[in-house]
Amino acid sequence: MTKTFFAAAATALSLASPAVASERSFTRDGIVYSYTTTEQDGARVLEGRASQGGKFRLVVRNGWVKGDVAGNRVSFRAPKGVDPLQVAQR
């Protein structure tokens, strides 16, 4: 479920246009996620923390999401061809 959530978040956020690092937040299943989004070396970087847990750093590049979530390495394909709002609501 965490993988699905972060895939959805990464997809939705990677398609957003701002490249400026401003803090944002959203709530999913009662957990508040606060994060910033920046551009680095042609990739979208999402860094933040969950209200009930650790930090996360995800790098979205070339259709892949890689990074660390609460101290665990993650790597998965970003969903393609799906409306980001629809994915984020899963």
Among 25, 9, 22, CA closest to 58? 9
Give 11 or 77, the one with higher predicted confidence: 77
Supply the pTM of this predicted model.
Answer: 0.66
d(CA 9, CA 69): 13
Single-letter amino acid, residue 58: L
**Residues 39-55: pLDDT tens digits?**
999 888 999 999 988 89
d(CA 38, CA 16): 11
The contacts of residue 4 (CB under 8 Å, 6+ apart) are: 90
d(CA 9, CA 46): 9
Name 39's bridge partners. 44
